[in-house]
Amino acid sequence: MTGGKLPDGGILYDGTEEEDDDIAPASDTQRSVAAVDWSVTNLNETGLTGAELIGEFVKQLPNSPGVYRMLNADGEVLYVGKARSLKKRVTNYAQGRLHSNRLTRMVRETANMEFVTTRTEVEALLLEANLIKRLRPRFNVLLRDDKSFPYILITGDSRAPAIYKHRGARGRKGDYFGPFASASAVGRTINSLQRAFLLRTCTDSVFESRTRPCLLHQIKRCSAPCTHEISDADYAVLVREAKDFLSGKSQNVKASIAEAMNEAAENLDFERAAVFRDRLAGLSHVQSHQGINPANVEEADVFAIHHEGGLTCIQVFFFRAGQNWGNQAYFPKADPQMTPPEVLNTFLAQFYDDKPPPKQILLSETIEEQDLLATALTERAGYKVQVLVPQRGDKKDVVDHVAANAREAHGRKLAETASQARLLQGFAETFGLPYVPRRIEIYDNSHIMGTNAVGGMVVAGPEGFVKGQYRKFNIRSTDITPGDDFGMMREVMTRRFSRLLKEEGKPDRSTASDDSADTTFPAWPDVILIDGGQGQMTAVRAILDELGIADCVIAIGVAKGVDRDAGRERFFALGRPDFTLPPRDPVLYFIQRLRDEAHRFAIGSHRARRKKELVKNPLDEIAGIGPTRKRALLQHFGTAKAVSRAAVSDLTAVEGISEAVARLIYNHFHESAAD
């Protein structure tokens, strides 16, 4: 890399690196992201902070494009930004002109800055989006729900290609169609395509081992290429038709099938005609679930934004091959003072950071960096990408339709958030809390007679359940008597809060308040709800006292009512006698919903662990016995039990089992085996 000096020995890099023959070549974007070396100066040791510190940095910055990071005294990244000219952009922060409350707070907390220059502003835009998604700075617009989108994959590496739902890297050979808005949309489409094209959905191992057609063939969902009920040539025709349909040639495919149906009917082959009729019905079912399907929008993502009441909603519709493949609403975290175009501008760069863009992106608002974004996406995708704001015609009608959906989704979310805020306020009043809780953790255990015991933790906050924060705890202690719920809860609490203390430190509750300006979700719970009565609460409070955090966390027990009836729960809180709530109290319903979610999560985790134990093979416990040797042993002896009874001479008769490995297996099952 090349770069220039900053004060006190810091280096300002320009993002250029030398080639390394031992490393596979990467794209320019990947290279600039992977090879970022930030300038680190010692200006923060001078005691300067805020605008004064930023002013010192400005003196050494170039007028070239780049990316900057603002950090607080603890080294936490507060903000990531990009600039056509680093010097001009950072100067604005130092002068403090026209700053919103958010920017004023950010500048005040800044204790250090780091910079990297890039060759072009396009590189800076892509690098900024990547860093925002990876670092999630508190003062940036954040794309909250960033799951990868599902695709439909028609494989290309087997005699009879299969059709699958696919998510993630495109490592397998085949044709990918998408993205679809949700996994359920992909599932519905594949089900209908099965009826229309009779493609297999089984795994390759099942396909290769079939000796007779499966049930899907009997119900006319598969043409059974596994047992050659259809010739490879005829199956290839079905695969080609499916690809054509997903590529936008749906009318040609339907016309071809309709012609074949009519021809069969004219030849009095009514059974074959019925097959084509069912295939046409399957295609119609796919298109009937696509909602709007404009004729002039072949391949595009359509974005519309609605901002009101401090909440922003961005709705996106996906159109591919002239078909509507679903929609999704996003609610990015953004400063309420930011304008809709500003939020949309930042959102789009993050959205396409790890997704292939379509050839057209249609927007409801004109954004500041519209041309820059189009150039960046074009360079990365390798084909021309247009970013447009339609003013008339079919495309404008589509954008208006998406905007209407954005307004409706915004209204629903705002109503849900307001309802959740009222419930949290009522919760605080019911239990006499000093402030409205922002993080509630709910715990429950699940086991059968003490076996496969699992503790579950779910988390709720101002926007409902926060599933990304859920945790499960496999009970490990061998000292706990099977079925000892108190002992299980002690282990869960100890592991949870010991780790929290180690990672986050003890929280300062002396300044806890309803700080609406702080939008970060806290790591420490304000309240923990325990599914249990006085005994459970005694165990939990003992652990909190032992860890020295009894004054940091409010623990509340929720005991099931008489005859375990919902609505008759008793609550146990420190400093007051146990009590019940009126049967129709909204707070009671709220707590029941929290407890039921914890119960559902714990039960699901327990069942998953139990299922794993049921299919566990004794051979898995032997070091050196991998999948190949295990398969050979089971094919030779039939069962793991038969392997355990085999003599060393019998084991060595198996292909791939040497005498040393055979003795290792024998000794594993025979404790008194002689050397």
The Cα–Cα gap between 78 and 113 comes to: 10
* Cα dist from 661 to 533, 556, 620, 624, 646, whole Å: 53, 55, 14, 8, 13
- The secondary structure of 100-145, three-state, reads CHHHHHHHHHCCEEEEEECCCHHHHHHHHHHHHHHHCCCCCCECCC
The Cα–Cα gap between 425 and 409 comes to: 24
Q: What are phi and psi of 556, to 5 degrees?
A: -130, 130
Residue identified by tokens 């909440």 is 311
Please say whether the beta carbons of 151 and 404 come within 8 A.
no
Q: Measured in Å, how far apart are the chain's first and last C-alpha atoms?
A: 60
**pLDDT in the model for residue 11:** 33
**In 179-231, where does DSSP find H-type helix?**
183-197, 204-209, 215-218
> Which 3 state secondary structure label does DSSP give 582?
coil
The Cα–Cα gap between 446 and 463 comes to: 27
Kindly write down the DSSP assignment for every residue of 505-531, as one continuous string: ----GGG----TT--SPPSS-SEEEEE
Longest dimension (CA), the chain: 93
* Cα dist from 665 to 236, 494, 628, 662, whole Å: 47, 39, 15, 5
Q: Calculate the dihedral angle through the C-alpha atoms of 262, 267, 270, 272, rounding to the nearest 10 degrees.
A: -80
Q: Considering only CA atoms, which of 223, 186, 407 is closest in space to residue 313?
A: 407
The Cα–Cα gap between 482 and 469 comes to: 28
- All residue ranges of the chain with pLDDT < 50 are 1-35, 40, 289, 291, 513-517, 672-675
Q: What are phi and psi of 248, to 5 degrees?
A: 105, 0
Please name the helix (run of DSSP H) or strand (run of DSSP E) that holds residue 472, with its range, or none: strand 471-474
Cis peptide before 179 (omega within 30 of 0): yes
Distance of CA 2 to the CA centre of its chain: 37
* Cα dist from 308 to 72, 311, 658, whole Å: 31, 6, 72
**In 298-383, where does DSSP find H-type helix?**
340-351, 370-381
How large is the angle between the packed helices 534-547 and 485-504, nearest 10 degrees?
A: 30
Non-local (6+) Cβ contacts of 243 within 8 A are 154, 175
In tens, the pLDDT along 151-171 reads 889 998 889 999 998 887 777
Residue identified by tokens 């300038």 is 39
* Cα dist from 337 to 99, 103, 275, 369, whole Å: 11, 10, 59, 19
The Cα–Cα gap between 88 and 229 comes to: 71
**pLDDT in the model for residue 451:** 65
Paired strand residues for 330: 314
Retrieve residue 391's tokens: 């003013």
Paired strand residues for 543: none
* Claim: this prediction has a pTM higher than 0.95: no
Please say whether the beta carbons of 186 and 151 come within 8 A.
yes
Dihedral over Cα of 587, 598, 569, 543: its sign: negative
| Domains of the chain, each with CATH number or no CATH | 3-135 (3.40.1440.10), 151-288 (no CATH), 300-412 (3.30.420.10), 432-505+524-612 (3.30.420.340), 618-669 (1.10.150.20)
Paired strand residues for 67: 82, 116
Please say whether the beta carbons of 298 and 248 come within 8 A.
yes
Residue 222 CB coordination number (10 Å): 23
Q: Over the range 461-471, which residues count as b (16 or more CB within 10 Å of their CB) and which as e?
A: bbeebbeebbb
The Cα–Cα gap between 15 and 2 comes to: 7
Q: How many Cα atoms are found within 13 Å in the side-chain-facing hemisphere of 541?
A: 16
Q: Calculate the dihedral angle through the C-alpha atoms of 467, 469, 474, 479, rounding to the nearest 10 degrees.
A: -140
Q: Calculate the dihedral angle through the C-alpha atoms of 509, 510, 516, 519, rounding to the nearest 10 degrees.
A: -40
Non-local (6+) Cβ contacts of 453 within 8 A are 445, 446, 447, 474, 475, 480, 488, 606
**pLDDT in the model for residue 7:** 33
